[in-house]
Amino acid sequence: MDKCVSLSSPAALAYAPLPRPQRIKIVLPDDPEPPLRPADISLTVPDVDPDITDIPLTDPDPATMALKQQLEKK
């Protein structure tokens, strides 16, 4: 170019250096814990009586009471 132009002019845009892209630091989450083996599950779950059918509730919520009434009707 034989003319002096402002760097913000359209004629200079083709020759202006492009801004360098910003570097983004990516932080990956920690590796997930491996799944439990069936043998380990029995160690973490307490023994529960499988014959329990009625668990007393100290403060039942309306949804639980409605479900209980529906199950008793059947």
Strand, coil or helix: 72: helix
Nearest to residue 9, comparing CAs of 23, 1, 46?
1
Task: Write the secondary structure of 4-71 as one string of H (helix), E (strand) and C (coil).
Answer: CCCCCCHHHHCCCCCCCCCCCCCCCCCCCCCCCCHHHHHHHCCCCCCCCCCCCCCCCCHHHHHHHHHH
pLDDT-wise least confident of 14-18, 21-25, 35-39, 45-49? 45-49
Query: What pLDDT is recorded for position 37?
Result: 78
Residue 15 pLDDT > 60:
yes
Rounded Cα–Cα distance for residues 39 and 36 (Å): 8
pTM of the model: 0.22
pLDDT over 70, % of the chain: 68
